[in-house]
Amino acid sequence: MEVTIEKLQEHKEKIKQVYAEMAKVVVGQEYMVNRLMIGLFTNGHVLLEGVPGLAKTLTISTLAQVLHLEFQRIQFTPDLLPADLVGTMIYNQKDGKFEVKKGPIFANIILADEINRSPAKVQSALLEAMQEKQVTIGETTFTLDKPFLVMATQNPVDQEGTYPLPEAQVDRFMMKVFVDYPTKDQEMEIMRRISNMQFDFTVGTVLSKEDIFSIRNQVNQVKISESLERYIIELVYATRNPLDYKLSEEAQYIQFGASPRASINLNLTSKALAYMDGRDYVLPEDIKEVARDVLNHRIILNYEAEADNVRTSDIIKAILNRVPINK
């Protein structure tokens, strides 16, 4: 389906309405909402990291309401079992046979709250759902409803009793988004709203499932030049072979570079960003804007980086400054 100017404008207006509805409940956090919508329009999972109280859970649940999608929140804890996530077989005494009891994973938007609090068994159960979009219970495999997205949160402060996510699972998240504190004015508004016991948290529905699938098709049609495709590849290769790009200082801190999923997701997210800005073509600025979110969980730093207080964002900034865009 070709991207027409009319369709671009129609969906751009609807996307503005999504922001407006979200603003009725969530103060600020437009950046987080933008990244969640990019994930939705490109069929990619999103990992949110931020201290408690920054409205991560509220934002995701409100977005599900605005998009009229089935929503399930799963609180990850150390004693959580795979069956608590995907479901299990239950014996029906009346019929004398086992029945499938589906778990909360069977929804459109899954909020995996504090995902790093559960052990490897639970993470492996989530992996199949995230990658294959299916769940196996007993001997039966069930296809998950579309759209299916995992929006996960993790707390960077309280690391006691947590399990670091395996690289293989982290890589399956399209983006890792850092959620920051609100401004003073925003926090004043939050305080006033929450203090008002009569505050209305209801929102209207803006986009249907059909709209989401239509937008996905149109995002896929957004044009990206060969020079920008080459630029994406160069950026990713710079994470693997920094010395080839005269990044000698950064090279000493990188243990592993980004996987091919980084290239795929830089392409998809930059297209979605261009589309949401009302364009049917990608600009270099689109790629640079999403680079941090796509790369920051795919570049693995060594102990020297930790000792020297070097962050992944510093490495990404240096790469963006060094790698040229060849026309």
User: Which helix (DSSP H) or strand (DSSP E) does residue 173 occupy?
Assistant: strand 173-178
> Is 0.75 surpassed by the pTM of this model?
yes
Encode the chain (327 residues) as per-residue pLDDT tens digits: 555 667 777 777 888 888 888 888 888 888 888 899 999 999 888 988 887 777 788 888 888 888 888 888 888 888 888 888 888 878 777 777 777 788 888 888 888 888 888 877 888 778 778 888 888 777 778 888 888 888 888 876 655 656 677 777 788 889 998 888 888 888 888 888 878 766 677 788 888 888 888 888 888 989 999 999 999 999 999 999 888 888 888 888 888 888 899 999 999 999 999 988 888 889 999 999 999 999 988 888 888 888 888 888 889 999 999 888 876
Same topology, domains 5-214 and 223-322? Answer is no
- CATH T-level fold of 5-214: Rossmann fold (3.40.50)
Give the integer Cα–Cα distance in Å for 254 and 247. Answer: 11
The token pair that represents 9 in the structure block: 């404008």
- CATH T-level fold of 223-322: Helicase, Ruva Protein; domain 3 (1.10.8)
Question: CA nearest 47: which of 113, 125, 135?
Answer: 113
Sequence spans of domains, the chain: 5-214, 223-322
